[in-house]
Amino acid sequence: MQITITARHFELTDPIKDYADSAMRGLKRYFDHIIVAEMILRAEKNRNIAELNLSVKKLNLVAKAREQDMYTAIDSVIRKIERQIKKQIGKMKRHHSNDKVALKELEKTEIATLNIIQKTVKPVELDLDRAIDEFSKRENGFLLFRNTGTDKYAIIKKIKNGYEVTEIQ
């Protein structure tokens, strides 16, 4: 990521420059593909303005903040650009899911106070007969799969006399 910090109508001090630099480098935790990050800091009358321009692959993001203090203006513009990045990431996830439920094995989240373990899984692609065979080999209570015959997601679970298959719409 190429970082540029420009000051207009005031002298850019090292502490402000370091603060802005570290704040912009912190944006990498949201999105790795930032190509150019350019921050323009201006002092006009009794307010400080921070403007941040990000170039990300095929996308340009711009945010502006006006505050009494330059550090507060930098924080504010970083928060605004973070919201834009999160929004774009959400759009990309929805776009690439092809209007279907995007299930991927991403993470296990444990919430300490409630002792809940949340899992995200990636379903296997099987026809119904192979899914029943695969499920009979497992010990857990259900199997999530994408039915290649109907091209829908389904869940198999055991019932008293056999199996129950539920398709997800």
pLDDT digits 0-9 by tens, 69-79:
999 999 999 99
The secondary structure of the chain, three-state, reads CEEEEEEECCCCCHHHHHHHHHHHHHHHHCCCCEEEEEEEEEEECCEEEEEEEEEECCEEEEEEEEECCHHHHHHHHHHHHHHHHHHHHHHHHHHHCCCCCCCCCCCEEEECCCCEEEECCCCEEECHHHHHHHHHHCCCCEEEEEECCCCEEEEEEEECCEEEEEEEC
pLDDT digits 0-9 by tens, 92-108:
777 665 544 444 434 44
Sheet with 124-126, side-by-side order of all strands = 124-126, 142-147, 152-159, 162-168
**In the prediction, which pLDDT does 45 show?**
86
Tell me which long-range contacts 128-135 makes (C-beta under 8 A, separation of at least 24).
128/154, 128/165, 131/156, 131/165, 132/156, 132/163, 135/163
Q: What topology is assigned to 108-168 in CATH?
A: SHC Adaptor Protein (3.30.505)
CATH architecture type of domain 2-96: 2-Layer Sandwich (3.30)
Domain range summary for the chain, segments of one domain joined by +: 2-96, 108-168
**Roughly how many angstroms between the first and final C-alpha of the chain, as a whole number?**
42
Task: Reply yes or no on whether the pLDDT at 120 is more than 60.
Answer: yes
pLDDT digits 0-9 by tens, 22-36:
999 888 887 777 889
**In the prediction, which pLDDT does 109 show?**
46
